[in-house]
Structure 1
Amino acid sequence: MNKKKSFLSIWRKKYSPPIFLLGLLTLLCLSKSYAQETKIKVTITLKNSDLPTAIEQLRKETDVNFYYSKEELKNHKIKAAKFTGRPLVEIVQELLKGTNLEIMERDNSISIRAKQAKTESLRSNNLQTRAQVKTVNATVLDEDGLKLERVTVSAKPQANFSTSTDQNGMFILKLPDTVTELTFSLVGYKSLSLSVASIQASEYIHLKREQSDLEEVVVVGYGAQKKQSLVGAVETIKPSELKTTSSSFTSSFAGKIAGVVAVQKSGEPGADGANFWIRGVSSFAGNINPLIILDGVEINMQILNSIPPEVIDQFSVLKDATATALFGTRGANGVLVITTKSGKNLERMNINVRLEGGTSSHTQKMKMVDGVTYMNMFNEAIKAREINGNYKPRFTQDKIDGTAQGLNADIFPNVNWYETLFKPYTHNENVNVNVTGGASKLNYFVNGSFFNENGLFNTIEKRYKNNINHRRYNLQSNVSANLTSTTTLGVKVNAIFRELYGPEVSSNNLYYSTLTASPIAFPLTFPALNGEDYTLFGTASGPYAQGYYPNPYADLVKGYQETFNTTTLGIVDLNQKLDFILPGLKFKALASFNNYSNTRVSRSFKPHYFAVDKWSINKDGVYDYTLASMGEPGQTALSTSSGAGGERKFNYQLSMDYSVSLQNRHNINAMVLYHQNQYNNNMPGNSLLAVLPQREQGLAGRLTYNYQDTYFTEFNFGYNGSENFKKGNRFGFFPSIAAGYIVSNESFFKDWNETVSLLKVRGSYGLVGNDRINARFPYITNVDLNSKGYTFGYDFNNTLSGPNVTLLGNEDAQWEIGRKANVGFELGIKNEFTLVADVFREDRSNIFMQRRIIPSHLGLGAILPYANIGKVRNQGLDFTLDYHTKLSDDFNISTRGTFTYVVNKLLDRDEPQQKEPYLSEIGLPLNSIRGLVAEGLFSSIEEINGWAKSTYEPDIRPGDIKYKDLNGDNVIDDNDKMVIGNPTIPQMIYGFGMSLVYRKLGVSFNFQGAGNSSLMMGDIHPFDKNEHNVMQFIGDNYWQESNPDVHALYPRLDNEANAHNRQSSTFWLRDASFIRLKDVELSYNFRMFRLYLAATNLFRISSFKNWDPELGGGSGLSYPLQRTARFGVQFNFN
């Protein structure tokens, strides 16, 4: 039968190659060289000053980087001079006349250093005869892996042997055996001394830029600041620390970022992103997700999960009010700020390639009992609940014996559905290529990636592919052009194409039905007895709406669904220096457009279901049977359904920034920004609200001051408005203030600086808002003019249609308000050990919720009004520990640990007065579990008769759960339920890892842990009317008449839902704490490439064994997390 090609396959073949060819053509166009920026002509007037001051003035005027040592330049004075249209290099050379200094041009930079005396590699042939000569060669790179030219390489202890690296960063030195150490130095980089032996072993030398951690620039809200000037709680992490084997970037967050609480609830390809919250949850009604900013523009979780780590330049988490107040009504839940990489002024373009392949499997297999055990337990469950000796087993002994002996798989099936429908492992591939380059007028960074991952469904039928397949194509293109010496234009494009192919039935439903299906009711399929050209799917008569059992295998293969979505984010920004108006003044304009489109096509057929009707054994011992068709006749033809959706967003920003330093002591920065956003639904349908765009606008401002880089203050504000609220009540003002003090920069602290390299304290307080209250136009009362109206008459048999109020509006509705306070402490020891710790508290008020204290007799029913009355307090601490040291020339070690502890409690939820104090939610954590307190299992009828009576089930027997009567009314009911255990969201998240590098060999690992969290097992119970299978842990340890263990893990069996035993209670409550080896990597560096072997989720330590506790409560029957192993190679060309 000829099959039509899908739209997606046609798209891949026809359009994928042109897109990548277009990207390659773009790179070739961008690789055009321009004149060096250092050759530009400059007009400038210099006053009497020292040389560093003059150089700094030139840097600001030309935007050219200068590298020099202040110690070498500070004693050189210059006289006032005016230069008109002179090349920059000539001006610098003019300033250096009469000094012992020289310049060196490299890329878009000028280095100034003391003149070097010429040396020779070997002074004479006599030396060669006196000592054995050895050749040393290597390549010198910077922290980004780019080759460094003109690095001075000198020998120790004989300094007369020296050379410098060539344009490829390479050097060759012939040395006598007496030379044991080489020193590498380059202006703007930290000098490095290494043993000759280690150099010969490593082949690569890496120099670090001469910039302390405090001088590092950190991205914050609407800008960037030096790390030492930060007074807010901002957590940064290197993008390389967030590597992930998953297609979802957020799956790498847990345990690596202090202040971030992250949990991963699924391992399904394409849907395995983590849920994460910054400093926990502070609202029970409104939006609790953090704001995500990419290159200055708000994005959604799908874009975040699709970002390859290779494109990220900086990654910051803004946690307190000072860091987030700029975002006003959007900043209450914290802000995640990401900037992508930009191009560099290089002589040659730099190309990085990563190729990776691997396998994945479930971290834990859910084990179910076999068919014989299932039948015996089912019969036992019926007998355990028999009344007056009226026992009728569900399965005959012949059925049990036939299944145990494996007489005939069609008549006596014993199906292991898990092993049949799931493969043990699957394969994944990942390719990433990026190109960095540029020249004086134009630079670029372009990244392309392809990610392919597969699910673990085992498709036996080959008519079409039913396994999950997720493919993602990414293109990130960042181009920046220097239009003039003061004007820069940037264009960034992020394009994401996702194909998701899988079964027509959702994977979670398939996983659930696979593990709950009866193992003995029917086989997967029957053989074609009469030459049928279609599959005969097995089933049996059963207590389902359709009259027969669902077949998990039929659900898997009966159809498929393919989804294709595209996301395109374009950003254009213009930066203009306004020094001609006021030195230090800058202007920036930004505009962005984000479009998301989604199409879905589902195709399926109606399976042919059959069940064994009659069977017999002939004289040869062969089983004969006939089949009966079940339900409506099946169909082989595919039916089709489809859908589409999409959205688009616009963002505009205008800002002014001013920086000034007075007397090199008083440093001031001010920024004010206007922003405006608009959201449109591309497929609004007939919904009036969906047709209307959603709009926001506001102002943001920041003022910072520091004195001698020691005393710091900062004021921020956000003034935001939303059309979601009534006119006159749409704008809110959210200010914050903060201060910091670097004690270690004080003159009196100099004696301790060698040991204590950093000692800093800071604090902040401010207001933030949350206007995402899950209600559109809550101030408008909704009236349905076509409702059924009202019922009248003596017998209530007369209904008149008319208007009906469906929602009462609240004209005073507004955003949530968070009042945040933070105190931070930073400590550095010998520039090796760093501790950053914060203690925080937030009081969230104005939570928009439906009233609860209005009595029902007022007649409002389901339309109780909403109001801003909820209150929650959230507090805790988080800290990060870093330790980096060099144990020898060959051995480097670095460690990192994070810890986050967050506790919230409900302060107000408009709660009516409760009968008992423990029934109240006030003062207790959000996401708490409420249930009965179990005190074991009943051991005898006498004990049951002397206990409080259950309202859930009248027939209580030995082996049933014994509950505590909390209120002493001699009745067990919902009034005996209290908050039990810990919240479902962990209150504690921690992680620690280590990286060891010995010469070319590297090893790294990271652990992730969660604590103070509970889960409630539910929907795990076997049998019932649907005759569900039995989980192995139940079959291993349950209460039996023959073994009446009151400490058994499962109570007395029942074949129908026993409401008493299935109440939420401490009997089913489990500790969800765990610690897992999240990732480990072994790597080896060669001259031109790097090989690595890595794995994730290798093992887990937890007291809960039934399923992965990170999946949470319920039955655990959802797509599990994945254990991966992968092999990769990375290349670098330039």
Structure 2
Amino acid sequence: MNKVSFKWLTLCSLMLFAITGLQAQQRVIKGTVISSEDMQPLPGVNVIIKSDGSGDTRGTITDFNGNYTVAADDENMILVFKYLGFKTQEILVGTRAQINVTLELDAEELEEVVVIGFGEQKKESVVGAITATTSKELQRAGGVTNLSSALNGLLPGVSTVSNSGAPGESDIDIFIRGQGTWNGAGPLILVNGIERSMNDIDVSEVESVSVLKDASATAVYGVRGANGVILVTTKRGTVSKPKLTVSGNTTIKTISRIPKPLGSYDALRMKNLAIEREIPTHSSWSQYTPVDILQKYRDQTDPYLYPDTDWQDWMTEDYALNYRANMNVSGGTEKVQYFASFAYLHEGDILKTTDYGQGYDPEFSYNRMNFRSNLDMKVTNSTKLSVDLAGYMGIQSKSDGTTADIYKGLTEFPPDYVIRYPNGMWGWDVNRDRYKNAVVFLNFGGYEVKKRTQLQSDVNLEQDLGKVIKGLKADVRVSYDTEIQTENEGVNIANVDKYNVFRGYRYEDGTENIIWANDSEDGRDPLNGFNYINDRNQYSYEQFTSNNKNKFKLYYQARINYARTFGKHEVSAMGLFAREENTVQALFPVKLEQWVSRATYNYDKRYFFEFNGAYNGSEKFGPEYKFDFFPSFALGWNISNEKFFEPVKEVMNHFKIRGSYGVVGSDKGIDKNLYRAVWDEEYNVRGQTNGLVFGQPNRQPSPYIRYTEGNPGNLDLHWEVAKKTNIGIETGFFGDLITLNTDIFFDRRTDIFVPAADIVAPIWNGGQNGPANLGETEVRGFEIELKVQKSFTPDLSAWMNANYTYSRDIIIKRADAPLLEEYRKQAGYQIGQTRTTLNDEIISNWDDMYTGVQGLANENNLPGMFRRIDYNADGVIDERDIVPYGYPNNRPQNTYNLATGLSYKGFSLMAQFYGVYNITRNINLSSFFQEATIVRERDLNRWTPTNTDADLAHLGFLNSASDGQANLVDASYIRLKTLEAAYTIQNSPFLDKLKISSAKIFVNGNNLYFWSNLPEDREGGSYERDNYPLVANYNIGFNLNF
């Protein structure tokens, strides 16, 4: 094990066993909590134990009679009493055993503040569809290095699809309530209010993540809000003593699941069977392996002549290591608050790479350093200045070899292939053009280094104008981001010492003697039977190329806020102007302008109204579509605050209904200036006649440019428009012991952009069509979120969170060709609908073979193959028989999540399960076809004359017919997403001597187990994707609070 991880493990173990016995003795404190308004007991009051200087730690809630019981460690402990609508009280325990508390009403008390678009809002007054998670939940994600991965399953309506496990990669697709467009369905992501990537943010810097899902929540973002919005809020300083937190962890990661081909004996045996079952040709017999030779592959007496190669053993490590460390400090006074954080991350490589003398190790790795700081200063009693500075530097290294050959080598390379000979030469089988040595590509393909450096700066000045108009505030903000990315490639083509090997068998003419197929060639090695060509070349060092990308973002805004309470009436309003300029390299900046407004009203915390609007500008479109207005409206009714609801409050303490409707837009996936017509220029260069030519028959090129009509423009091109409707119900039972929230949503998206290539032009058009807004979709679904939390004793508590999301889209229109059959249209089906020909049955004999329809994939049929169905009954099987089947393959229609945990004194345990269903995947991993001798476990049960009940057709060699829907399977899965065991130590004399207020040691993991019939753990795309495999993480770490 790595020295650093060993030191951390040793330190954690010593702390755990040395400190456990030093805990102070506890005593029991009892009491009753009542309301100052009616002197009645308050059920569900949060009673939190707070140690001096250590922050909130553990606690309980009052029962139906307002009673509570907690255990106190010492006389200096403080009890904190919190309840919605009441002022928080803190009471020193001292020597008392009975502490009764009377809570006073406080209309300004916030149970929870939710981050919304361009501001914050009390949770009880929120009428939009917003869900949020906290830093504590994110840090339990189990060693993930990407914030997007940490979100998976935590929030209803949010699903993430990971396509690669490569170090430093961020190939993660995020869907909020499914997919409503084919033009970039990803949400708008804002970090501290600015559009920024969240992939390289250290999780320990994050305070909360809010997801805005309906139009009421996203309308303030107008033309960018149709796909939902994710708001990432980072930590800030608070009024407190200086607090120092140090954390670190080591992660052991392994490959989650990849399919493993069988050995060369099984592969060649199945290959022989495939040749025998076809009508053999001379060329196919040359690929046949005689029985006595086949036995030598099985015996492995000569592994270099009869190889049985395990590519995964050559190309993967048993495990790889990640390291992460973070240190942050925070605190402040009423005048100044501060926060600073520094973090380091190293991601190791699961692929087995080595410096074989080429002068470099092409390891896949990622090293990143993060920093973040902010300072909030009261310049005057009414003026506040905030300065934020953040950034990171990341260095990603990887092999520059052909990725298709590298990743396919793990699962799709034949086993009868010598990777390396005893003398150090590398195998290079020239008989197989598609299967060159993957280990050579991995280690000798050169290396690539990407460096990403980003610096983010924000300055915000807030002025309280209450002396002018009570409740009025104004602020201005300026932000400037710089990102520099460089890409260097070294040794970008490898010339490796290798054997070019010609290999094959055949029977000697007129005899049964086996001879080498290439025995007539000069130079054949008579001992090994190979014709080696010694290909010795030298490496090419210092061949570097650079691809530098510089990005700059300037953002500035001015905002005015108004909030007042008049008796039972609460009103607020917000107006904002913002402009953003994005520049890449030295190109002209892309600009976005927005004017935003919001107005809210509630009466007696019972009836709520909210209006949001955004007047957005985008320069992507023509002069008539530069700006548009996107409004939304929302209503809410907190029924639990009505007097008639009082009799049931002991059981159902919270009941609120809300609804919203609004219009938002999206310009994602649409290039600039498509509204302009394009003329193509053609030149005559060096004798070519691409331009104008004159003369007949002796044509002569003209020196003048030839102009031809290119893509025609479309002045009516504009953004997509999404009309969103949402109805939500929030309930709480037994003092929020149980909470159940449900949302039903319906989205109708119109004017979806369709590129010119997808629009069928009529014959009389004379050319291709221009792009147009012709698409239309609908998305329907619902979300359910259930939470349960219970304190059984002062030391024992448990909780459970569960959520379920159903989201189904359907295409209403998408420029389908006229007169196209309904089943061939995209209209009426989901975006990315899987399509295939259909199987009827496996042909069992020669008589059955001639009774079916011939055509595409049927003309070469033999017994043992699938018969294609002539779906449209026209007597021919062709593209008109390809029909919709199953579900899309890039996202699930249904997702569900269950997280549960318990804590006892300082110990805690939690587990999270995440599952999906209604998703279709093609598992047709490459099998052998001619030169590819690859079989897998399921191939052993294919059709044979003696196994006629098989589900799969027999393997083909020269005549490999399509399997239709046989390889399209239900890709449902359940995964053990996270598992954590932790122990927290506090109030320890030993820790006090070290100035440590609390210490936590934990062991957790991510993606630990995968229940599925799929042969590979890959969440998105098809099995032909050439991506780095997904990994399982096993993590050990600590947190120290000073």
TM-score interval w.r.t. the shorter chain?
0.7 to 0.9
The equivalent residue for 2:188 is 291
Q: CA deviation at 1:453?
A: 1.3
Cα distance, 1:991 vs. partner? 0.2
Residue 790 of structure 1: how far off its partner (Å): 7.4
Match of 2:63 in 1: none
Deviations 1:316-370 (A, max 9, x none): 1100111000111011111111211111122x31011111112110111421111
Query: For 1:1066, what is the secondary structure of its paired residue?
Result: helix
How much has 1:144 moved relative to structure 2? Answer: 5.1
- The CA distance in 2 between the partners of 1:638 and 1:1038, in whole Å, is 51
1:525 equivalent in structure 2: 420
Structure 1 window deviating more from structure 2 (871-880 vs 641-650): it is 641-650
Q: Deviations over 1:493-529 (max 9, x none)?
A: 22111111121226564121343222223x222344x
Provide the residue aligned with 2:9 in structure 1. Answer: none
Give the secondary structure class of the aligned counterpart of 2:285: coil
State the partner residue of 2:813.
908
Of 1045, 1052, 1061 in structure 1, the residue corresponding to residue 962 of structure 2 is 1061
- Structure 1 counterpart of 2:426, one-letter code: F
- Given the alignment of the two structures, is residue 979 of structure 1 paired with residue 884 of structure 2, yes or no? yes
CA shift at 1:895, angstroms?
0.7
Equivalence for 1:1098:
1008
| 1:264 corresponds to 2:162 | yes
Deviation string 1:852-876 (CA, Å, 9 cap, x unpaired) is 6654533644x32111121011111
Change (3 A) 1:816 1:962: same
One-letter amino acid matched to 2:828: G
Which residue is equivalent to 1:309?
203
Residue among 702, 714, 739 paired with 2:598: 702
Q: Distance in 2 between matches of 1:379 and 1:1031?
A: 12
Q: What SS does the aligned partner of 2:345 have? A: strand
Change (3 A) 1:637 1:771: closer
Q: Distance in 1 between matches of 2:865 and 2:621?
A: 54
**Corresponding residue for residue 851 of structure 2:** 946
TM-score using structure 2 length: 0.84
Secondary structure of the residue aligned to 1:842 is strand
Once residues 955 and 213 of structure 1 are traced to their aligned partners in structure 2, the CA distance between those partners, rounded to angstroms, is 77
How far apart, CA to CA, are the structure 2 residues paired with 1:382 and 1:552? 27
Which residue of 754, 760, 779 maps to 2:650? Answer: 754
Asked whether 1:804 is paired with 2:703, we answer: no
Residue aligned with 1:759, SS? strand
Give the distance between the partners of 1:601 and 1:389, measured in 2 at CA: 49
Q: Name the counterpart of 1:49.
A: none
The answer to whether 1:890 aligns with 2:792 is: no
Tell me whether 1:556 sits opposite 2:442 in the alignment. yes
Conservation of the 8 A alpha-carbon contact between 2:490 and 2:541: no
Q: Where do 1:302-451 residues align within 5 Å?
A: 304-346=198-240, 348-387=241-280, 392-394=285-287, 395-451=289-345
**2: CA distance, partners of 1:694 / 1:494:** 23
* Structure 1 pair 412–436 and aligned structure 2 pair: CA distance change class (3 A): same
Aligned equivalents of 1:251, 1:789: Cα separation in 2: 53
Match of 1:32 in 2: none
Structure 1: which amino acid aligns with 2:549? G
2:264–2:415 CA contact under 8 A, matched in 1 = yes
Q: 2:977 aligns with which of 1075, 1078, 1096?
A: 1078
Question: Match of 2:725?
Answer: 821
Contact in 2 for aligned 1:451/1:471 (Cα 8 Å)? yes
**Helix, strand or coil for the counterpart of 2:860?**
coil
Asked whether the equivalents of residues 50 and 80 of structure 2 are also in contact (C-alpha less than 8 Å), the reply is no
Distance 1:391 1:680, change over 3 A: closer
What is the CA distance between 1:797 and its match in structure 2?
8.0
Deviation at 1:460, TM superposition (A): 4.3
Deviations, residues 11-31 of structure 1 (Å, cap 9, x unaligned): xxxxxxxxxxxxxxxxxxxxx
Cα 1:246/1:792, change in 2 over 3 Å: farther
Unaligned runs of 5+ in 1: 1-68, 76-136, 148-155, 174-181, 200-206, 529-534, 685-690
CA distance in 2, matches of 1:793, 1:467: 61
Match of 2:569?
Answer: 666
Q: Distance in 1 between matches of 2:151 and 2:51?
A: 34
Letter of the aligned partner of 1:580 in structure 2? K
1:656 to 2:560 alignment: yes
CA drift at 1:652: 0.8
Instruction: Map 1:44-59 onto structure 2 (within 5 A).
Output: none
Query: Which range is displaced more, 799-808 or 881-890?
Result: 799-808
Q: CA deviation at 1:469?
A: 1.1
Identity %: 26
Q: Deviation string for 1:865-906 (max 9, x for gaps)?
A: 111121011111112111111111221111101111101100
Distance 1:311 1:1094 in 2: 20
- 1:106-157 per-residue CA deviation (whole Å, 9 max, x = no partner) reads xxxxxxxxxxxxxxxxxxxxxxxxxxxxxxx99457765699xxxxxxxx99
CA distance in structure 1 between the partners assigned to 2:89 and 2:934 by the alignment: 65
Cα distance between partner residues in 2 of 1:622 and 1:271? 49
Superposition pairs of residues 1-12 of structure 1, within 5 angstroms? none
Shift in alpha-carbon separation, 1:190–1:1045, aligned structure 2, 3 A: farther
Q: Distance in 2 between matches of 1:212 and 1:280?
A: 37
Residue type of the partner of 1:1077? L
Paired position in structure 2 for 1:516:
412
Moved more, 782-791 or 730-739: 782-791
Show the 5 A alignment for 1:733-744.
733-744=629-640
Residue ranges of structure 2 left out of the alignment (5+ in a row): 1-32, 40-48, 60-65, 504-515, 520-524, 684-689, 987-997
Identify which of 532, 542, 545 aligns with 1:628: 532
Deviation at 1:74, TM superposition (A): 12
State the distance in 1 between where 2:296 and 2:96 align.
73
CA distance in 2, matches of 1:212, 1:1072: 50
* DSSP-derived class of the 2:709 partner: strand
Q: Determine the C-alpha separation between the residues in 2 that align with 1:184 and 1:492.
A: 32
1:1007 to 896, 913, 917: 913
Q: Tell me how far apart the structure 1 counterparts of residues 196 and 984 of structure 2 sit (CA, whole Å).
A: 37
1:540 maps to 429
AA of the residue aligned to 2:580: N
Matching residue within 987, 991, 1014 for 2:897: 991
1:1082-1125 deviation line (CA, Å, top 9, x unaligned):
011122311111122222222x2311252442347632221111
Q: Is the Cα–Cα contact under 8 Å of residues 268 and 933 in structure 2 kept in the other structure? A: no
Q: Check conservation: 1:357, 1:428, Cα contact below 8 A.
A: yes
Task: Report the AA paired with residue 702 of structure 1.
Answer: R
Amino acid across the alignment from 1:911: D
Question: 1:451, 1:507 → 2: CA distance?
Answer: 25
The residue correspondences of 1:114-129 to structure 2 (distance < 5 A) are none
Higher relative contact order, structure no. (Cα contacts within 8 Å, ≥ 6 residues apart): 2
1:466 deviates by: 2.3
* CA distance 1:791–1:145, change in 2 (3 Å): farther
Q: Could you give the per-residue CA deviations for residues 681-739 of structure 1, whole angstroms, max 9, x where no partner exists?
A: 12x5xxxxxx2211011200000000011100001100001111222420000011110
Task: Indicate the SS of the match to 1:1110.
Answer: coil
What does residue 753 of structure 2 align with?
A: 848
> CA, structure 1 residues 962+350, in 2 after alignment: closer, same or farther (shift >3 Å)?
same
CA RMSD across the alignment: 3.5
* Cα distance change on mapping 1:256 and 1:468 into 2, 3 Å: same
Aligned to 1:35: none
Partner of 1:578: 465
Taking structure 1 as the reference length, the TM-score comes to: 0.78
1:139 touches 1:170 (CA, 8 Å); kept in 2? no
Residues 1039 and 638 from structure 1, CA distance in 2 versus in 1: closer, same or farther, beyond 3 angstroms? farther
Partner Cα distance (2:108, 2:499) in 1: 74
Q: Structure 2 vs 1, CA of residues 138 and 777 (structure 1 numbering), >3 Å: closer, same or farther?
A: closer
Residue 597 of structure 1 is matched in structure 2 by: 484
